Amino acid sequence: MIRVQHEPFDPGVELARFVASRTDVGGIAVFLGRVRDRAGDTPILAMTLEHYPGMTERKLAEIEAEARRRWPLEDTLVIHRYGRMMPGEPIVMVAVASAHRHAALEACSFLIDWLKTRAPFWKCEETPQGERWVEARTSDELAAARWERRSAASSGQSPAQSSFS
């Protein structure tokens, strides 16, 4: 399931609901991303996430479908917020259920890696010096690319963002 929403969410409640829906699943992996209160030495007062309504949902659905193609998954959940958030607030949650832990852990890692480099979201930080847009990081591109090599011949997905002109 994909949810793109402005409202805050409670990760505990979401996980409990996700787990409750199935009793036949042994392994569940979760990633929770939150707003940090600093970036290096710079205090972060708040963060605003902008997104591209429509394309966001579409890209997340593609990424979810790709995860299900690669691993035997019983269920997936991706929640991503947009709008203004304070330090400590959850931004994104990925939960993956599978009969086996390796599939759950790998698929969870894959989902957040590809989400970070393919879903059209942009972070703007509020610092004591003013607002600034977060720049894309090469380390995120490399993290996403390591899943690329594995399926180079198969999926026919759009190329990694780094190759766009």
Residues whose CB falls within 8 Å of the CB of residue 6, separated by 6 or more in sequence, listed in order: 81, 82, 83
Report the nearest approach of other proteins to the CB of residue 62 (Å). Answer: 9
165 binds other proteins (CB under 8 A): yes
* Residue-by-residue DSSP string for 133-149: EPPP-HHHHHHHHHHHH
135 CA to centre of own chain:
17
29 binds other proteins (CB under 8 A): no
135 binds other proteins (CB under 8 A): yes
Q: Which is nearer to other proteins, 96 or 112 (CB)?
A: 112
Classify 77 in phi/psi space as left (phi over 0), alpha (psi -120 to 50) or beta: beta
122 binds other proteins (CB under 8 A): yes
State the binding string over 78-97 for other proteins (x if CB under 8 A, else -). Answer: --x----------xx-----
Centre a 10 Å sphere on the Cβ of residue 55 and count the other Cβ atoms it contains: 11
49 binds other proteins (CB under 8 A): yes
CB 119, CB 63: distance < 8 Å: yes
10 binds other proteins (CB under 8 A): no
Which residues of the chain form contacts with other proteins (CB under 8 A)?
A: 33, 49-52, 54-55, 58, 80, 91-92, 112, 115-124, 133-136, 140, 158-159, 161, 163-165
